[in-house]
Amino acid sequence: MNSIHFIDTNPLDLTTIQAIIIEEKKLALSTSSQDKIDACRLFLDEKTKSISKPLYGINTGFGALYNVKISDNNLQKLQENLVKSHACGTGEEVPKEIVKLMLLFKIQSLSYGHSGVQLATVNRLIDFYNNDIIPVVFSQGSLGASGDLSPLAHLSLPLIGLGEVYYKNEKLSSEEVLKLFSWEAVKLQSKEGLALLNGTQFMTAFGIYCLLKAHKLSYLSDVIGTISLEAFDGRIEPFNELIHLVRPHNGQLKTAERIRELLENSEIISQEKQHVQDPYSFRCMPQVHGATKDTIRFVTKTFLTEVNSVTDNPNIFVAENEIISGGNFHGQPLALGLDFLAIALSELGNISERRTYQLVSGHRHLPPFLISNPGLNSGFMIPQYTAASIVSQNKQYATPASVDSIESSNGQEDHVSMGANAATKCKKVVDNLQTILAIELFTASQALYFAKAKTSPFLASLVSAFRNEVTFVEEDRVMHYDILKASEFIETLEIDSEELF
């Protein structure tokens, strides 16, 4: 039986989010959250009855239509029209695991009682989450300001019986699923459509997905880079703590410490060297990998702040008797963070490919392209080409989206973050990095075979586990399958969260 995660005032962190995902926990609102949602909704209902002035998005139109007053008998129609009209997504479907994160984060944001939604609306989102009813959401259409309007409209359509969902790996109309569960479509009340569509949950879900993988790939960059160092008969001196204490960036210190730990009891690292220095891709792992670690830490802080925030508009403050229209939906912090993360992860791929290049170049004791009878066999020549191609693509994806802005809504929304484009690009960089590291692991494991001494017990154990999936290459074969298996090995490798977060 699945355990339950109660949505309450306790902030979500990466460890909690990962546990919710891996343990497939069900969601439920705490009593405190239910009370806050109910109190906010009651306050809004009373407020709209007692005053006649326009309240943006509650009894007015949206965007450039903010001055158009809507009659009381059309307020429900106004909210449903908003959801329908904003469902203009195009492009690829968003992966189901990211849509599920969108649901989680939308529920979290609405639970604080500053959005004016009905308790029934939040509970229906929880029903979707708990029953793996995943709305079909599209990757293109958000400007990342006014929130992720188009993707969140698609996320919300099933509430009113429109759009499509995945249920038990089958794409169904939302109407079919509602009938299947004997649920009535939610009748949206004033402000609800806006609360559902304003928000940054598309960007946030992509960002958290990328960060969970980034922490793992950052750790594995250290591990795989150290296997390459051993295969290349590298030197230990660049990882001496004294060097890093006089330039004490946290990530640099952590990387050097980890590499020293990974090399404990290695015969290779202890043997006498014929060379005085190693290339930068080996020698400067603490500085390069470490800078990426520091970036990941900064971006994680930004995204966890967002996960635990209210990001719709206007915001309702019951205790203060205020309804305030502002701009918490603007995705600028996320856009900058996603661009920064993409750049930092792209660099992990960049330096990884350089190590792969060094390993196949016939330097030190290694045969050219790590294969017997080179010439007849091309060996590991082309995996390095593939890595180089992907690295180049990542450099293109690392071009920031956040420096762009296009005016929309007749000039009312005159600066936007483009954080949604930053989000989808960042995911491509993360996916590409996994493949680049898989190629390095494949190459380094082959190169380590030619070492005349033993590596550390930890690295030997990891390479042995890898060899169960990808065997030593004796002569040319179709390496496409090996690269896929290497990537799958990385994907499924379980790492203690204490090493990651």
CATH of the domain at 173: 1.10.275.10
pLDDT digits (tens, 9 = 90+) for 207-266: 999 999 999 999 999 999 999 999 999 999 999 999 999 999 999 999 999 999 999 999
**Mean pLDDT in residue range 312-320:** 95
Task: Say whether both 121 and 216 belong to one domain.
Answer: no
Distance CA 107, CA 321 (A): 24
Same-domain check for residues 232 and 183: no
Asked if residue 219 is part of any domain, the answer here is yes
Among 199, 231, 263, identify where a domain stops: 199
Residue 27 located in a structural domain: yes
Mark which of 179, 199, 219 sits at the end of a domain.
199
Give the pLDDT score at 138: 98
Q: Are residues 38 and 136 in the same domain?
A: yes
Is the per-residue pLDDT at 290 higher than 70?
yes
Do residue 187 and residue 143 come from a single domain?
yes
In a domain, 233, yes or no: yes
**How many structural domains comprise the chain?**
2
Catalytic residue among 56, 167, 209, 397: 56
The domain boundary residue, chosen from 149, 184, 199: 199
CATH number of the domain at 225, please: 1.20.200.10
Q: Which of 74-83, 128-137, 316-325 has the lowest mean pLDDT?
A: 74-83
Q: How confident is the model at residue 59, as a pLDDT?
A: 74
Residue 133 has pLDDT above 80, yes or no: yes
Q: What is the pLDDT of residues 168-200, one digit of tens each?
A: 999 999 999 999 999 999 999 989 999 999 999
Q: Taking the CA of residue 45 as centre, how many other CA atoms within 13 Å lie in the half-sphere pointing to its CB? A: 11
Considering the domain architecture, whether residues 359 and 302 belong to the same structural domain is answered as yes
Q: Is residue 435 part of a domain?
A: yes
In this prediction, residue 63 carries a pLDDT of 63
For 307, residues 6+ apart whose C-beta sits below 8 A from its C-beta are: 11, 12, 17, 105, 108, 204, 208
Residue 375 has pLDDT above 60, yes or no: yes
User: 320 lies in a domain?
Assistant: no
Structure confidence at residue 104 (pLDDT):
98
425 and 458 fall within a common domain: yes
What are the pLDDT digits (tens) for 15-37? 999 999 999 999 999 999 999 99
Asked whether the beta carbons of 132 and 232 are under 8 A apart, the reply is no
Confidence band for 74, pLDDT divided at 50, 70 and 90: confident
Q: Do residues 176 and 156 both lie within one domain?
A: yes
Mean pLDDT of the chain: 95
Asked whether the predicted pLDDT for residue 73 surpasses 80, the reply is no
Considering only CA atoms, give the Rg of the chain: 26
Q: Is residue 325 part of a domain?
A: no
Please indicate, yes or no, whether residues 28 and 96 belong to a single structural domain of this protein. Answer: yes
Domain-located, residue 375? yes
Rounded-to-10 torsion of CA 114, 115, 119, 120: -170
Residue 462 and residue 375 in contact, taking contact as beta carbons nearer than 8 Å = no
**Residues 147, 225: one domain?**
no
Under the banding of pLDDT at 50, 70 and 90, the label for residue 61 is low
Provide the pLDDT confidence category of residue 64 given band limits of 50, 70 and 90. low
180 and 304 assigned to the same domain = no
The pLDDT of residue 51 is above 80: no
Residue 190: other Cβ atoms inside 10 A: 22
Of the candidate ranges 69-78, 190-199, 295-304, the one whose mean pLDDT is the lowest? 69-78
What is the rounded CA–CA span in Å between residue 301 and residue 274? Answer: 45
Q: What percent of the chain has pLDDT over 70?
A: 97
- Would you call 357 a catalytic residue per the annotation? no
Strand 164-167 with 170-173, pairing: antiparallel
Domain identity same for 396 and 472: yes
Residues 107/94, Cβ–Cβ less than 8 Å? no
Domain that holds residue 402: 206-310+344-500
Sorting pLDDT into bands at 50, 70 and 90, what band is 65? low
CA distances from 323 to 52, 198, 199, 328 (A): 14, 15, 17, 14
In a domain, 81, yes or no: yes
Section 133-155 average pLDDT: 96
**120 and 156 inside one domain:** yes
- The model's confidence at residue 48, banded by pLDDT at 50, 70 and 90, is confident
